[in-house]
Amino acid sequence: MAPGMGLPYGLQAMLKEGHKHFAGVDEAVVRNIEACKNLAQIVRTSLGPNGMNKMVINHLERLFVTSDASTIVTELEVNHPAAKLLVHAAKAQEAEIGDGTNLVLTLGGELMANAEGLLRDGLHTAEIADGYAKAAAKALEVLESLVLDGTKEIDIRNRELVAARIKGAISSKINGYEDMLAKLVADACIEVMPKNPVNFNVDNVRVVKIPGGGLPDSSVIKGMVLRRDTEGTVKSAADAKVAVYSQGVDTSSTDTKGTVLIRNAEELENYSKTEESKLEEYIKAIADAGVKVVVSGSAIGEMAMHFIEKYGMMALRIPSKFELLRLCKATGATARSTFGAPSPEELGFAKHIGTQEIGGAICVVLQQDASLGAISTVVLRGSTEGFLDDVERAVNDGVNAVKSLGRDARVVPGGGAAELEMSRQLGEWGKKLTGLEQYAIKKFAEAFEVVPRTLAENSGLNATDVVSALVAAHAQGQAKVGVDIETGVPRDLAQDNITDLFSTKWWAVKLAADAAVTVLRVDQIIMSKQAGGPKPRGPGGDDD
């Protein structure tokens, strides 16, 4: 036990009762390392195309079945402060690239684990942290030299090329369907690719999940798909002007409670008539403005519906604010918050809008010319909700990969080849350094081996054999050789288009190293007493 525990002096006396306080290598650093290692261990088995899924039930009883590391750590509700740092690093990766979160966690965990050995050998944490920081900088340098020739430029509109580049990102989530999904994603993205690919907006690629059928039945629809039917009998419109109302389309009523005062019989008789004719006037004005499609953010009154029908307009209700916003964006309409005839500049335009049956569900599909804010939708089919959710995450990763492609198209060899080569070169470089950081650099280099090892382990191969064969191959100068998860034999996977985006790797290595260094530099943990609140449930009270 550390000295001072339980005695009322020092920190203990200074702080409020109930706080927790850990200091020193054994208590704080090793403890943090342990937590990070455990976290990495959970997600590690999900790395790579053969990674396993996790079933996570979150606090709202929602079930996730996924191998997407960012989803797993989000839903895991990690509590430990040091492990949280690692989670933040993964989140940063998710925000920056949208893929490769598992690499951050696994590599970060491995770096910590290796640091533990160094600590045991008597190195000071500062020395390890310094060595790691240096090694990280060098590793990124090495990574840059590993970029495959001729990958810097890419025709971002070439479906085959794009599909080949993003296959890696998708295959790590949904193995077996990556070719098909990569093509779908490529199609969808190219559809909405702006002139300058840097401005590619991932929001323009939507995903709609319709249960039923099989994944091979999935398709890309050019336009926006809304999973609902139109309100009235008009089911399609072409070259239509669109009026969007964020509020309901109905006779306006006041929020303040008011009473209509009727003084004589005539007024009573005309009361509803005037209301009707007023509404008709409004709707006629809308129709006169050339509007063919009326979109409402909330209810469409029955009376209003009647007149909309009468004037042969299509009525669409979109309760989701976000969907409404996207529709506005897609059509170029401005949502009116009050009911009434829209001004010409508020009107949107739809090339074609109509209902379409997709796998038993009636959907409204909005199609637009590319010049008018294109949106494309990937319609996913599959047997279970959980599976569809997972495919959706894979598609999102793919779309993010396309975005990164637009910015930086460089790729490095996949299948752990890049990591192993970094490991080799780093190791050699480290040997030339004098000073204690040499040890740390060596360990940093070793940590990279976790990637090929995990890939092999997750594929049911003998990891030690695979890694040693790889190390041997790299030592002979075959820098592009990685793990073939089918056979376990070292092979140049770049030939089969198994590559990783350079930017994904670069950020992953950087973020993992940063997180590791940050955690290592902590030598004290002080946790104040938790504020009161509902008592946590005891183990017996769990309804499970």
Partner 1 sequence: MMPGFGMQPQIILLKEGTDTSQGKAQLISNINACMAVVDTVRTTLGPRGMDKLIYNDRGQVTISNDGATIMKLLEIVHPAAKSLVDVSLAQDAEVGDGTTSVVILAGEFLKEAKPFVEEGVHPRSIIKAFRIASQLAVQKVRDLSVSLEGKSDEEKRSLLKKCAMTTLNSKLVSGEKEFFAQMVVDAVSKLDPHTLDLKMIGIKKVTGGGLRDSFLVDGVAFKKTFSYAGFEQQPKSFVNPKILLLNIELELKAEKENAEIRLDDPAMYQSIVDAEWNIIYDKLAKCVASGASIVLSRLAIGDLATQYFADRGIFCAGRVEAGDIDRVQKATGARTQTTVNNLDVTALGTCERFEEKQVGAERYNLFMGCPQARTATIVLRGGSEQFIDEADRSLHDAIMIVRRALKHAEVVPGGGAIEMEVSKALREVALTHTSKSQLFIKAYAKALEVIPRQLCNNAGFDATDVLNQLRQKHAVADGSGRNIGVDVNTGGVVDTYAAFVWEPSLVKINALQSATEAACLILSVDETVRNPKSEVPDAMSGAGAAAAMGGGRGRGRGGMGGRGGRGMRR
> Which residues in 472-501 contact partner 1 (CB under 8 A)?
none
Residues 195-234, one symbol each (x = binds partner 1 by CB under 8 A, - = not), give: ----------------xxxxxx----------------x-
Q: Least Å distance between CB 8 and partner 1?
A: 20
Closer to partner 1 by Cβ: residue 13 or 260: 260
Contact 42, 51 (CB under 8 A): no
- Which own/partner pairs from 518-521 qualify as long-range (CB within 8 Å, at least 24 positions apart)? 518/85, 519/32, 519/33, 519/36, 519/82, 519/85, 519/86, 519/112, 520/29, 520/112, 520/115, 520/125, 520/128, 520/129, 520/132, 521/125, 521/126, 521/129
Strands 224-226 and 361-367: antiparallel
Closer to partner 1 by Cβ: residue 275 or 465: 275
DSSP state of 340: S
d(CA 445, CA 40) in angstroms, rounded, equals 18
Segment 343 to 362, residues that bind partner 1, using CB under 8 A? 357, 359-360
77 is a site residue for partner 1 (CB under 8 A): yes
Q: Least Å distance between CB 309 and partner 1?
A: 6
341 is a site residue for partner 1 (CB under 8 A): no
26 is a site residue for partner 1 (CB under 8 A): yes
194, 197, 248, 386: which one contacts partner 1 (CB under 8 A)? 386
Q: Least Å distance between CB 519 and partner 1?
A: 13
Closer to partner 1 by Cβ: residue 77 or 428: 77
16, 59, 195, 432: which one contacts partner 1 (CB under 8 A)? 59
Segment 390 to 429, residues that bind partner 1, using CB under 8 A? none
23 is a site residue for partner 1 (CB under 8 A): no
7, 13, 60, 198: which one contacts partner 1 (CB under 8 A)? 60
Tokens at residue 126, please?
């500062």
10, 11, 38, 124: which one contacts partner 1 (CB under 8 A)? 38
Tokens at residue 194, please?
């702006």
Closer to partner 1 by Cβ: residue 24 or 435: 24
Element holding 20 (H helix, E strand): strand 20-23
- Return the C-alpha torsion angle 389, 392, 394, 398, nearest 10: -170
Segment 231 to 290, residues that bind partner 1, using CB under 8 A? 233, 257-266, 268-269, 271-273, 275-277
d(CA 55, CA 388) in angstroms, rounded, equals 14
179 is a site residue for partner 1 (CB under 8 A): no
Segment 444 to 473, residues that bind partner 1, using CB under 8 A? 458-460
d(CA 142, CA 76) in angstroms, rounded, equals 34
The three-class DSSP label of residue 337 is: coil
The three-class DSSP label of residue 349 is: strand
Closer to partner 1 by Cβ: residue 139 or 455: 455
d(CA 73, CA 447) in angstroms, rounded, equals 21
Closer to partner 1 by Cβ: residue 198 or 261: 261
Q: Least Å distance between CB 263 and partner 1?
A: 7
